[in-house]
Amino acid sequence: MAARICSFECTFCADCADGVLGGLCPNCGGELVRRPIRPAAALARHPASVRRVFKG
């Protein structure tokens, strides 16, 4: 199964992402793609973590 993901890791099946959602995340408005990059403006507001987090 193929999936599409936004830069905030909202994930949808490819059929829904490409069809019903028109390639846009309904949660954050970001583009749904196979391997997203976070736009510079979003990265400035929500930087990537520099700390590794493990769930126990």
- Indicate yes or no: pTM above 0.85: no
pLDDT given for residue 4 in this prediction: 93
Any idea of the CA torsion for 49, 52, 53, 56, to the nearest 10 degrees? 170
Q: What is the band of 45 on the pLDDT scale with cuts at 50, 70, 90?
A: confident
Give backbone dihedrals phi and psi of 13, rounded to 5 degrees, phi first.
Answer: -65, 155
* Percent of the chain that is helix, strand, coil (3-state, to 5): 20, 15, 65
* Alpha-carbon gap, residue 3 to 50, rounded angstroms: 26
